[in-house]
Amino acid sequence: MSHPISIPQRNLGPFQVSALAFGCMNVCHAYGASPTTEAAVRLLQEALDAGVTHFDTAALYGFGESERLVGRALKSRRDQFVLASKGGMAGVTGEDGVTRRVIDGRPEAVRRNCEDSLRRLGLDVIDLYYLHRWDKSVPIEDTVGEMSRLVERGHVRTVGLSEVSAATLRKAHAVHPIAALQTEYSLWTRNPEIAVLDACRELGVAFVAFSPLGRGFLSGKIGGAEVAAFDAKDIRRSMPRFTAEHYAANEKLLPAYQALAREAGCTPAQLALAWLLQKSEHIIPLFGTTSLDHTLENLGAAQVKLSADLVARLEDLINQKTVMGGRYNEQNNREVDTEVF
């Protein structure tokens, strides 16, 4: 059992949670071979032991497997953590027996997704329920209206949005208070700085930053050889920044980045997380890993303090102008509603 680490607390709607959150996608899919069920359950329990009090899952992850793992690992300690899950994008099995990812924001679909999630989790209520993707064929007001009814029925406590723009956030917030907005944000993905970070601050919405380590890039632990050897099912294979050409260019940023980490007295992963933690009190970095060692390393970022000069050099080194390739391919770009540079 890990000893709890001293982690600052941040506001997430009505909740106080650890300033660093644990993302539960990696425990069942996305980045190649998944851990065994026993190893995944043990990792989730160890993260809670170490001081993490905010866990984030979704109906989509492993087509429900992540939620089943979270329920199995943590439901006996339900009063010790805040749980987030997501609907509006889930696996749907067709007549051919194949399960495919479907974005569906119709009220009846969101209601069904939530009920399915509760069943897999083995719980009565989800603390924070996100719309995983806005279905652009359905007005955001209609989808969030149904999510507000989930609150009224006691199925969820608060409502969140994922990968939406400031304008969409404002429309949704006018229907029902939005507790959190979740979007990719890191040194190499700065799009939230266009508008949505400020909108969250203005509205009192927590900003949950997923992929804060640039899907592994900012950990300094994956070079071109590792990228070339990605598992066939690794989702990074479809991401432009990880093509051979773009990654070769991006990799050239790492020596100077690693030197800044040494100057700060921390690991490259901790540098990326500390940068986010210092940006604003309303930002909660959400990391994912299959390793307890990496979990403990990441949590150590809460103790790292960066000078203004080092932050300026860091932001000069890695930003939207120095990173090659988009964060998503064309299909994924069409599915999100985020601002772009």
Q: Are 184 and 199 in contact (CB under 8 A)?
A: no
Give the chain's length: 341
Report d(CA 130, CA 286) in Å as an integer: 14
Is 247 in the active site? no
Other residues' Cβ atoms within 10 Å of the Cβ of residue 277? 24
For residue 137, give the nearest of 168, 165, 180, 105 by alpha carbon.
105
Report d(CA 47, CA 112) in Å as an integer: 30
What is the Cα 109 distance to its own chain's centre? 22
Q: Which helix (H) or strand (E) holds 293?
A: helix 292-299
Q: Which of 61, 129, 130, 257 is catalytic?
A: 61
Report d(CA 258, CA 271) in Å as an integer: 9
Report d(CA 19, CA 241) in Å as an integer: 28
One-letter amino acid for residue 227 of the chain: V
Q: Are 304 and 271 in contact (CB under 8 A)?
A: yes
Catalytic residues: 61
